[in-house]
Amino acid sequence: MSSVRPGYFETLRIPLLKGRDFSDRDTLNGTAAAVVIVNETLAQRLWPGEETAGKRIRVPGADLPSYEVIGVAKDVKYRSLREEPSPFIYVPLVHSDMIYALLRVRGNPRALIRPAETEVHMLDQDMVVKSRTLDQQLQSTLWLPRMSATLLGGFALLGLLLATTGLYGVVSYSVTCRTKELGIRVALGAAKLDVIKLILRQGITLAFVGTALGIVVAAAVVRLLQSLLYGVRPIDVFTYLGASTVMAIAALVASYFPALRATRADPIVALRYE
C-alpha cells in the first residue's frame, strides 16, 4: 500500500486503465476520503471480468471498515525489477512526516535539483532535503545485479577465450599430425581452398559438439540464475542462437590459422616420409 497525492500517476506515467485519479476533493479538511485506487492484479483477482469502479474493499490497518475503488492502475515494479506482479493499493495522502515530491521536467533533471532545493528552503529553512533523479534511483537499485552480471560476463568472456584457445590447440595439433596426409593431398592436386575447408570442417564439428553439450547443461542449470534475468525468459531461443553464433565465429577464427598453415605443407617432404 502507498499513500499518494493527486497527479502521482500522471507524473510517473502510470496508466489508469479504469476510473479516475485522486483529486483535491478526496483530501478536504485535512482528512482523506474513503476511496482507493487498486492495481490491475488486485482488480483481476477480486473482480475478474467485472466493472471495478464503485466496488468496496477492506484496507488492512485502515480506520474505516471499507473503501470505495475509484480507479485501476497498471501494474508496475514497486520494490525491485525482479518482483512478480502482486496486489497493490493506493490511498490518498493527507499529511506525512516525510514527504516525497516528484517533479517531471524537460531537459536535464540534474540542472533543476539546486533550484528545487532552494524553493523548498524558502518555505522552511530547517527542512532537510535530499534530491536525486529517477535515473540515479534506478542505478542504485540496479548496482548489485549489474555487478553480478558484470562478474558473470567476465567469466563468460574468460570461458570463451579458453574455449577458443583450446580449439586452436586441438586443431593445430591435428594439422601437425596430418602433415604427411595434407602434403600428399596437395601433391595429388588438391587445391588450397579444399585443404582449408577440410581443416575448418574439423574445427566447426568440434565446436558444434561442444556447443550442443553446453546448451543442454545451460538449459538444466539456468533456473539457478533466474533471479539475475530481467526481461529474458530462462529458456530464450534468441539468446541460445546468439551464443551459438559467437561460438561458431570463435571456432572459425581458431581454425583458420591452422588451416592456412596446412596449405603450406610441402608435398616433397610428405612423399619423402612415405
Question: Residue 39 burial by CB count (10 A; 0-12/13-18/19+): exposed, middle or buried?
Answer: buried
126 touches 38 (CB < 8 A): no
Alpha-carbon span 22 to 32, nearest angstrom:
10
- CB neighbour burial string for 166-198, b if at least 16 within 10 angstroms, e if fewer: ebbebbbebbeebbbebbbbbeeebeeeebbeb
Radius of gyration of the chain, Cα coordinates, nearest whole angstrom: 32
Give the pLDDT of residue 96: 60
End-to-end CA distance of the chain: 85
DSSP letter at 225 equals G
94 touches 32 (CB < 8 A): yes
42 touches 88 (CB < 8 A): yes
Query: Dihedral sign, CA of 222, 226, 229, 230?
Result: positive
155 touches 228 (CB < 8 A): no
Helix H segments across 70-191? 113-123, 134-141, 143-177, 179-187
Give the pLDDT of residue 130: 79
Alpha-carbon span 168 to 176, nearest angstrom:
12
Give the pLDDT of residue 208: 85
Give the pLDDT of residue 229: 66
Q: For the whole model, what pTM was predicted? A: 0.56
**Phi and psi (nearest 5°) for 110?**
-65, -25
**What residue has cell string 553446453?**
214
Give the pLDDT of residue 187: 72
Give the pLDDT of residue 42: 92
**Phi and psi (nearest 5°) for 4?**
-135, 160
Alpha-carbon span 76 to 12, nearest angstrom:
10
Alpha-carbon span 146 to 75, nearest angstrom:
24
**Phi and psi (nearest 5°) for 164?**
-65, -45
Counting every residue, how long is the chain? 274
Mean pLDDT per block of 10 residues along the chain (274 residues) reads: 85 89 80 86 90 85 82 86 83 72 78 80 77 78 79 86 83 77 74 81 83 83 68 74 83 81 67 56
Coil, helix or strand at residue 89: strand
